[in-house]
Amino acid sequence: MGRRMKIFSTMAAAAAAALAMSGAAQAAVTLYTTQAAFDAAATVTNLEDFTGLSQGVKSTATIAVRNGIDFVNQPGGNSQHDLFVVSANSGLLAAPNPTAVLSADGDENFRISLHSGASFTAFAFTFLTNDYAAPVISLYGASGLIQSFTLTQGTNTSAFIGFVSSTPILYVQDIVDRGYIDNTAIDDVQIGTAAVPEPATWMSLILGLGLAGAAIRRRTALPA
């Protein structure tokens, strides 16, 4: 009897550890480098691709009212920090831009949030790098910094980057190196929520524990 109880206690402890590990994993920020993988993990509610905006300096309001996303450029290594839309294939960027993208007159230190002020748990965009060091992307919540990432893509390239976090995000900040000398840019900004986990995952674990418990009870009922 004591051995059976010990087995059951060990199984219960293992299940509790699995649940704890699952919770810890949910608390982390997951990085995605393809649109397909991000789409499988998130539901996009707001999308801004800068289509229809003519090239030139744009106010925050001009962009924010389009799809509910605010873009604010923070001062960096240059006193100018106006938002600037770059038309497709204009030649102003070293990285190719077959569609319109968002850049700036100075450093492209963008702060991106929902215009409503609401939080979100999924964020993605295409980033166009310059000749210098990789930009740093930081996610911020109500309690401050959630996590920062240094992009590893090459210089003068464009690449998709996405994040899903269980901690609500209030805004995303990117910090670039010498954007006022050689511009960076962003495109296809997506904000949304993490996809709801399939109930089948948790049901399988609960069913497994129930079957294990039933087996132990049957063994206990058998004569010694």
Q: What is the pLDDT of residue 105?
A: 82
CA distances from 157 to 58, 97, 134, 146 (A): 24, 9, 11, 27
Delineate the domains of the chain, giving CATH numbers in brackets: 28-194 (2.60.120)
Pick the residue with more confidence: 110 or 76?
110
Q: What average pLDDT does the chain have?
A: 82
Q: What is the pLDDT of residue 79?
A: 63
Whether 216 shows a pLDDT value over 70: the answer reads no
DSSP 3-state assignment of 212?
Answer: helix
Pick the residue with more confidence: 106 or 116?
116
Digit-coded pLDDT (tens) for 179-204: 888 889 999 999 999 987 655 544 55
Q: Which residues contact 19 (CB under 8 A, 6 or more apart)?
A: 205
Digit-coded pLDDT (tens) for 126-163: 999 999 988 999 999 999 999 999 999 999 999 999 99
Q: Which residues contact 48 (CB under 8 A, 6 or more apart)?
A: 63, 66, 67, 69, 71, 188, 189
Whether 39 shows a pLDDT value over 90: the answer reads yes
Whether 11 shows a pLDDT value over 70: the answer reads no
CB 37 within 8 A of CB 163: no
Cut 0.85: pTM above it: no
Percent of the chain residues topping a pLDDT of 70: 73
Which one, of 55, 129, 57, lies nearest residue 94 by Cα? 129
Q: What is the pLDDT of residue 162?
A: 98
Q: What is the pLDDT of residue 19?
A: 34
| 213 confidence band (pLDDT: 50, 70, 90) | low
What one-character DSSP code corresponds to residue 123?
Answer: E
Digit-coded pLDDT (tens) for 54-108: 999 988 888 888 899 999 988 766 666 789 999 999 999 999 999 999 998 888 8
